[in-house]
Amino acid sequence: MRKPFIFTLFSLLCILYMSNANADVYYAKYKDGLIVTPSFGSSHTLVKQKGPGKFISARIAKQGGSNDITFVNLEIDGQSVVNRSFAALRNFSLTENNPYGVVILGKDLKSVTIGFPFPLVFEKSLSLSVFVNETGVSQIIGTVIHGK
């Protein structure tokens, strides 16, 4: 009668061990990109990182702009994880820490932060880009913290 209990306990312990081992991050570093006076309707890759690795967090700061319809796109292994405009993030009321992992702050200098409670693993690539769909943007700075 005790064998199923021991097997279940062993399985749970293995799962907990593997999930904690996956959360460890080694060789953490940052990579950033800057765009000055981007034109309306232009797309720019701020940070591109080859895998394998682990995404820890990102921050995108935008100075200027007429309507906040600049889109932030975080892609991991070709799949979009975040793809929203500054205006949409404010409309979603993502103005403080939340489980969704995205926060927007600021009035004149707008800043979007992306971070989740655990690292996201990427095998092939990690890309942080923006699509500028407004006039008057002075500059955009993007930073990604990643590791192995």
CB atoms within 10 A of CB 2: 7
Alpha-carbon gap, residue 54 to 22, rounded angstroms: 9
pLDDT, tens digit, for every residue of 53-88?
999 999 999 999 999 999 999 999 999 999 999 998
Q: Which two tokens stand for residue 34?
A: 């800057």
**Mean pLDDT over residues 13-30, rounded?**
67
pTM: 0.81
For the cut 90, the answer to whether the pLDDT of residue 95 exceeds it is no
Q: How confident is the model at residue 41 (pLDDT cuts 50, 70, 90)?
A: very high
Whole-number pLDDT of residue 73: 97
Whole-number pLDDT of residue 118: 87
Q: What is the DSSP string of the chain?
A: -HHHHHHHHHHHHHHHHHHHHHH---S-EEEEEEEESPPTTEEEEEEEEESSEEEEEEEEEEEE-SS--EEEEEEETTEEEEEEEHHHHHHTT--S--TTSEEEE-SSEEEEEEEEEEEEEESSEEEEEEEE-SS-EEEEEEEEEEE-
The percentage of residues in the chain with a pLDDT greater than 90, rounded to a whole number, is: 60
Task: Kindly report which listed range (36-45, 84-93, 128-137) carries the lowest average pLDDT score.
Answer: 84-93
